[in-house]
Amino acid sequence: MVYSDQSVYFSASSKLPSSIPSGEVYDSLNIGFVIDKSTGVIEDVSVTLLSAGATRFLMYLIIGFNLHDGDPEELINEIKTRYFGGSQKAIIVATRLVIQKYKSYMDSIGANKNEGD
């Protein structure tokens, strides 16, 4: 996949339950989003899960969501109401962390742009 000059990548980790297969292999889950910072659209997702089907489904739920126009809680709700794998809580925690990092980054860019005005 080719990304634009406006694409940025953010990732975050959260603890996995040891009782699930991914938790037996990985101590924590890592999720990463490629986001077009000019539009806020999530362009790509990476996640450390063992099941390719679970990864594809999460990508389906997340890719295309607009962080500038949409309420991030809508995305969290999609995961809560549609993904029922054992790693659901870890995915939600990591997703919230990625969104917080992205918002902080965007705030810092906005602050830097306004300093010269």
Is residue 115 predicted with pLDDT exceeding 50?
A: no
Amino acid at 38: S
Query: Which has the higher per-residue pLDDT, 111 or 58?
Result: 58
Which of 13-22, 49-58, 65-74, 84-93 is predicted most confidently? 65-74
pLDDT of res. 101 = 97
- DSSP state, 68? T
Q: Where exactly are the structural domains of the chain? A: 7-111
How large is the average pLDDT for residues 58-79? 96
Q: Which CATH number applies to 7-111: 3.40.1350, 1.10.357, 3.30.390, 2.60.40?
A: 3.30.390
Q: Mean pLDDT across the chain, nearest whole number?
A: 88
> Judging by beta carbons within 10 Å of its beta carbon (0-12, 13-18, 19+), is residue 105 exposed, middle or buried?
middle
pLDDT in tens, 96-112: 999 999 999 999 988 44
Tell me how far apart the alpha carbons of residues 96 and 12 are, in angstroms, rounded to a whole number: 9
pTM, two decimal places: 0.85
Residues 22-56 have pLDDT tens digits of 555 567 889 999 999 999 999 999 998 768 899 99
Q: How far apart are CA 93 and CA 13, in angstroms?
A: 8
φ and ψ at residue 59, rounded to 5 degrees: -60, -45
